[in-house]
Amino acid sequence: MLKREDVLMELKHIHKTFLQKKTEYTVLEDINLQIYQGEFLAIVGPSGGGKSTLLRIINGLADATSGEILYKGQKQSGINMECGMVFQAFALLPWLTVLENIELGLQARDIPENQSRKKANYYIDKVGLDGHEEAYPRELSGGMKQRVGFARALAIEPEMLLMDEPFSALDPLTSANLREEVLDIWNDPHLRINTIVMITHLIEEAVEMADRVIVLAAKPGRILKEVVIDLPRPRNKNSEAFQNYVGEIFALIT
């Protein structure tokens, strides 16, 4: 399942501090992490623990105070264009239709219009949004909005998908469905994307989906432990092994 030899991204001694009211706060302390090609990595931790900041540093949306990131052995600076990001509150543009929202990243890559239209439509089908191409985000339910978020991130055909608590704004049933579909996308051999990094505060969600769970401590955020989830898929939430993993991580955080 895990081919440890193919390191896609490597984080070396990442520190992040914020200056607030003349006091320095350490958000992330000495994060060392390797992300492997093809894995599903989950990062869990208490809220306010710097999880989101870490994901933003991986994408290049935020700069680390010190430390460096290697992507395929190359030092990364600025936005990593091989990453697609899915946001907790969707971050869709309300004045663009579903199709236009999804095409946005393609236009930024100067892809000709007929091609970008084709690609966008392909991913609209993939995430089950067909028939909603011309709808505006505010006409959609939360689950449908997040599908637009996924399609937008997938349409730029990234190698790595970054997800910032992608299911936490959705109701339980919708998020369960969407979780399954994300796993299908991850396993789809026709898609370029094969690596996923997901931030979550739900331990069960992490154990259900990920190959490997990184447990962060809060204040300052640092890696407590790495837990490899060695369970066959689809995973049975009620199995004893599953619950043991959940219990182990829960004990680490609290």
Query: Given the rule CB under 8 A, which residues bind another protein?
Result: 56, 59, 61, 79, 81, 83-85, 87-96, 100, 104-105, 107-109, 136-138, 145, 152, 156
How far is it, in rounded angstroms, from Cα 148 to Cα 123?
A: 9
Q: Closest distance between another protein and the C-beta of residue 19, in Å?
A: 13
157 Ramachandran zone, left/alpha/beta (phi>0; psi -120 to 50) = left
Residue 122 CB, nearest distance to another protein (Å)? 17
Closest CB 21 distance from another protein, rounded Å: 9
* Contact (CB, 8 A) for 18 and 194: no
Closer to another protein by CB, 108 or 228: give it: 108
Q: Which helix (H) or strand (E) holds 195?
A: strand 195-200
**Nearest CB to another protein, comparing residues 50 and 105:** 105
Closest distance to another protein from the beta carbon of 32 (Å): 24
Rounded alpha-carbon distances, angstroms, from residue 238 to 98, 183, 242, 244: 37, 19, 7, 10
Per DSSP (E only), the strands in 21-141 are 23-36, 40-44, 66-71, 74-75, 83-86
- Report yes or no: 40 and 198 within 8 Å, Cβ to Cβ: yes
For residues 56 and 72, give the distance between their C-alpha atoms in angstroms, rounded to a whole number. 18
> Which 3 state secondary structure label does DSSP give 23?
strand
Residue 81 beta carbon to another protein: minimum distance, rounded to whole angstroms: 6
